[in-house]
Amino acid sequence: MYFYKLPGENLMSFHRIKAIFLHELNITRHSYEVFNDLLLYPLFNVIVFGFMTLYLANATGKIVANQVLAGMILWQMINITQYSIAVGCLWDVWSRNLTNIFITPITVTEYLFSYAVTGTVKAIIVIGLSCVLAYFVFHLNIFSVGLIPLFFICLNLIMFGFSFGVVILGLIFRFGTRIQAFAWGLLNVAQPLMAVFYPVSVLPEPLRSISYLFAPTYAFEALRKAMRGEPIFIDILYSFTFNFIFLLGAIIFFQRMFKKSKETGQFARLEG
Amino acid sequence: MDILRVEKLTKRFGTGKNEFVAVDNVSFSVKEGEVVGFLGPNGAGKTTTIQMLLGITTPTSGTIHYFDKDFFKDPQYCLSRINFTSAFNTLQGRVTVWENLVVFAHLYHVENPLPKIKKLVERFEMNDLIHKRYWDLSTGQRTRANFIKALLNDPKIILMDEPTASLDPDIADKTLTFIEELRHEHKITILYTSHNMAEVTRICDRVIFLDKGKIVAQDTPLGLTKRIQVAQLRLTFNENKGTVETYLKNERLTYRFDGEHVVYITTEETSLPKIIFGLSKLGIWMTDIEVKKPTLEHVFLQIARGEPYVFS
């Protein structure tokens, strides 16, 4: 079965997308590290933030406390999607298997699309479990913001996580595994600017302007507004706008990095 | 029919003062069913050429055609019909051999992948190993798993980059036997790089020598060894060293004595019978005659050192 096609590429193949999906599933099943990074740590974070929420609820009120916990849960959307793309590729670099994959007829679009799908599936599973935990232990019903607002907020966060992962992947392809720590760390550097746990108004003025360049800022603002029962249409619109710009930029950036990597021979040297 | 045709392939790395040419205007072709050895000293440009043939490094200029299709215009068509195996690339170590093979079967869009994998697993006698993690296999077992991966898509050509590197002689020999059987069973075309000249002589129909990015020789293994005209004769005789030495001097031969009863004579291969006959006529009693003929290794050394090979 073939579907979507980009200029210069043949039709995307369902078989090849399924292959990467299976590959990711196999690695996840056999790797305790992935289990830790994608399931255990996020759930522990929910527990830690949950207790903090109980403590904060007394001082700030339940709404603010719940906003912090909801921010924490939805942050995992970005984290897991970008981790899935960037670290997913690294498993094959470390195993010296990346060349084997890229000498099959798989296209870059299929490769990235597959990781977008697997990242989304993983994110949905982890967020689902986090929501269950938050509901039964800390009495936070994240679905109370409404299914449609929640869907659009999550979609924006996944889009950003995917774009961020693609940028990291481009950097790894171009500069090699010496910058592999970006796959875990770089997103956390940007986290304070994305108003995950607090409103943008908390940030000092120069940082506020930078914060508004990130699509998740609008998504998290929308989450807080939705929890207060306010309309979020404008925030979601801004979030989509910045996400489309960032996604387009990320794909162009990745294509350039990948092309340069093959020109300089770095791609072939990735596996050492 | 040419399965692979490479024309004026060039790869330059770096710019300005740091620029160097890894592959310099290389042209060659590989016919259907041929096994072609791709040889050269370290840094000759073999690996860079292979990387370009696989599409993981972009050439600076030149063309690559598989099955008369431009590789850069239709990479997916070509990549679905070629495959690669190397001692330096492994499958995903964390997952089982079976899981790896299923993934690659899907990547190559193999029709009925499971029976195909089972058949190859049986062929390579890996039935008991397929549910082991790839990392838990021995080097020889990994090589077999790599070969199964390389055969999944019924490739028309397989590029093999030192497939026997780091294997013990027994496993290396078995691997070569596999390759020979593959060739006869599937009529597969193979481009084979190795530093082991005996291997290349054993399995290759033709050899391409690369040095400093250029093709410096291209012939059958026998044709290449014939380029070194000299051979070495090791004679063990009972007595009369003086008579032997006088004869060799008169014949203006290059020789070296090793003790009182052994002499090494370096000469053209065609002169060997004449020397043995001449010494016999003088009444020299030869107890052992050993002829050391040039091998592909000597050709390799001659090319790598850039000077005529001299028997030591």
Q: How far is CA A27 from the centre of its chain?
A: 19
Write down the pTM of the prediction: 0.86
Taking residues B28-46, report their average pLDDT: 91
- Give the pLDDT confidence score for residue A4 in this predicted structure: 46
Mean pLDDT score of chain A, rounded to an integer? Answer: 91
Q: How far apart are the first and last CA of chain A?
A: 36
Q: Which residue from A13, A106, A267 is facing B57, i.e. has the nearest CB?
A: A267
Residues 6+ apart with CB under 8 A from B275: B233, B251, B253, B265, B267
The pLDDT tens digits for A88-116 are: 899 999 989 999 999 999 999 999 999 99
The answer to whether the beta carbons of residues A82 and A187 sit under 8 Å apart is yes
Q: Please check the confidence at residue A2 and state whether its pLDDT lies above 60.
A: no
DSSP annotation of A11:
P
Per-residue pLDDT band for B165 (boundaries 50, 70, 90) equals confident
To test the contact with chain A by mutation, choose from B19, B82, B94 the residue with the greatest count of A C-beta atoms within 10 A, namely B94
Q: Please check the confidence at residue B294 and state whether its pLDDT lies above 90.
A: no
B80 touches chain A (CB under 8 A): yes
The helix/strand/coil state of A3 is strand
The pLDDT tens digits for B246-290 are: 999 998 888 889 988 999 998 887 888 899 999 888 888 889 999
The pLDDT tens digits for A209-229 are: 999 999 999 999 999 999 999
Q: Ramachandran region of residue A206, left (φ > 0), alpha (ψ -120 to 50) or beta?
A: alpha
Q: Which is higher by pLDDT, B185 or A31?
A: A31
Q: Ramachandran region of residue A91, left (φ > 0), alpha (ψ -120 to 50) or beta?
A: alpha
Q: Percentage of chain A surpassing pLDDT 90?
A: 75
What is the rounded distance in angstroms from the CA atom of residue A161 to the CA atom of residue A195?
15
Residues 6+ apart with CB under 8 A from A128: none
- Give the pLDDT confidence score for residue B312 in this predicted structure: 63
Q: Which residue from B83, B99, B107 is facing A16, i.e. has the nearest CB?
A: B107
- Give the pLDDT confidence score for residue A247 in this predicted structure: 95
Virtual CA dihedral for A63, A65, A66, A68, nearest 10 degrees? 130
Q: Which residue from A13, A27, A99 is facing B92, i.e. has the nearest CB?
A: A27
Count of CB contacts below 8 A, A vs B? 108
B106:A18 CB<8 A: yes
Selection from A114, A232, A102, A210 nearest residue A162 by Cα: A114
Least Cα separation, residue B110 to chain A (angstroms): 9
The helix/strand/coil state of A224 is helix
The answer to whether the beta carbons of residues B104 and B148 sit under 8 Å apart is no
Q: How far is CA A56 from the centre of its chain?
A: 27
Taking residues B68-79, report their average pLDDT: 94
Taking residues B287-308, report their average pLDDT: 79
What is the rounded distance in angstroms from the CA atom of residue B57 to the CA atom of residue B48?
7
Residues 6+ apart with CB under 8 A from B284: B237, B240, B243, B244, B247
B80:A105 CB<8 A: yes
B90 touches chain A (CB under 8 A): yes
Task: ipTM value, please give it.
Answer: 0.88
A16:B106 CB<8 A: yes
The helix/strand/coil state of A2 is strand
Per-residue pLDDT band for A163 (boundaries 50, 70, 90) equals very high
- Give the pLDDT confidence score for residue A5 in this predicted structure: 47
What values do phi and psi take at B24, rounded to 5?
-120, 95
Query: Distance of CA B166 to CAs A222, B140, B142, B170, B178, Å?
Result: 59, 9, 12, 12, 17
Q: Collect all residues of chain A within an 8 Å Cβ-Cβ radius of residue B11.
A: 265
To test the contact with chain B by mutation, choose from A102, A103, A108, A114 the residue with the greatest count of B C-beta atoms within 10 A, namely A103
Selection from A87, A94, A93, A71 nearest residue A38 by Cα: A87
B107:A15 CB<8 A: yes
- Give the pLDDT confidence score for residue B196 in this predicted structure: 83
The pLDDT tens digits for B43-63 are: 889 999 999 999 999 999 999
Q: Structural domains in chain B?
A: 2-220 (3.40.50.300), 230-293 (3.30.70.260)
Closest residue in B to A104 (Cα–Cα): B79
The answer to whether the beta carbons of residues B309 and B232 sit under 8 Å apart is no
Per-residue pLDDT band for A3 (boundaries 50, 70, 90) equals very low
What is the rounded distance in angstroms from the CA atom of residue A113 to the CA atom of residue A126?
20
Q: Which residue from B56, B96, B107 is facing A106, i.e. has the nearest CB?
A: B107
- Give the pLDDT confidence score for residue B297 in this predicted structure: 78
Taking residues B125-145, report their average pLDDT: 92
Least Cα separation, residue A129 to chain B (angstroms): 26
Residue with tokens 């497939």: B163
B58 touches chain A (CB under 8 A): yes
Mean pLDDT score of chain B, rounded to an integer? Answer: 89
The helix/strand/coil state of A265 is coil
Query: Distance of CA B304 to CAs B20, B28, B284, B295, B301, Å?
Result: 19, 20, 39, 14, 5
Among A183-192, B76-85, B161-170, top mean pLDDT goes to B76-85
Least Cα separation, residue B121 to chain A (angstroms): 19
- Give the pLDDT confidence score for residue A23 in this predicted structure: 95
Per-residue pLDDT band for B24 (boundaries 50, 70, 90) equals very high
Residue A217, burial from CB neighbour count under 10 angstroms (0-12, 13-18, 19+) = buried
Least Cα separation, residue A157 to chain B (angstroms): 29
Least Cα separation, residue B89 to chain A (angstroms): 5
- Give the pLDDT confidence score for residue B151 in this predicted structure: 92
Q: Taking each helix axis as running N to C, give the angle between helix A215-227 and helix A62-94, from 0 to 180 degrees, rounded to the nearest 10.
A: 150
Q: Which is higher by pLDDT, A194 or A9?
A: A194
Least Cα separation, residue A116 to chain B (angstroms): 17
B92:A26 CB<8 A: yes
What is the rounded distance in angstroms from the CA atom of residue A140 to the CA atom of residue A62?
10
Task: Write the DSSP string, chain B.
Answer: -EEEEEEEEEEEES-GGG-EEEEEEEEEEEETT-EEEEE-STTSSHHHHHHHHHTSS--SEEEEEETTEETTT-HHHHHTTEEEEESS----TTSBHHHHHHHHHHHTT-SSHHHHHHHHHHHTT-TTTTTSBGGGS-HHHHHHHHHHHHHTT--SEEEEESTTTT--HHHHHHHHHHHHHHHHHH--EEEEE-S-HHHHHHH-SEEEEEETTEEEEEE-HHHHHTTS-EEEEEEEESS-HHHHHHHHHHTT-EEEE-SSSEEEEEEEGGGHHHHHHHHHHTT--EEEEEEE---HHHHHHHHHHTS-----
The answer to whether the beta carbons of residues A38 and A80 sit under 8 Å apart is yes
Q: How far is CA A95 from the centre of its chain?
A: 24
What's the CA angle centered on B211, arms B208 and B217, to 5 degrees? 35
Q: Which is higher by pLDDT, B178 or A49?
A: A49
Task: Write the DSSP string, A14-35.
Answer: HHHHHHHHHHHHHHHHH-HHHH
B140 touches chain A (CB under 8 A): no
Tokens encoding A186 = 């770089």
Query: Distance of CA A64 to CAs A55, A57, A150, A227, B40, Å?
Result: 11, 7, 18, 9, 69
Q: Collect all residues of chain A within an 8 Å Cβ-Cβ radius of residue B102.
A: 22
Residue B38, burial from CB neighbour count under 10 angstroms (0-12, 13-18, 19+) = buried
- Give the pLDDT confidence score for residue B305 in this predicted structure: 74
The pLDDT tens digits for B183-214 are: 888 788 999 998 888 888 899 999 998 988 99
- Give the pLDDT confidence score for residue A6 in this predicted structure: 45
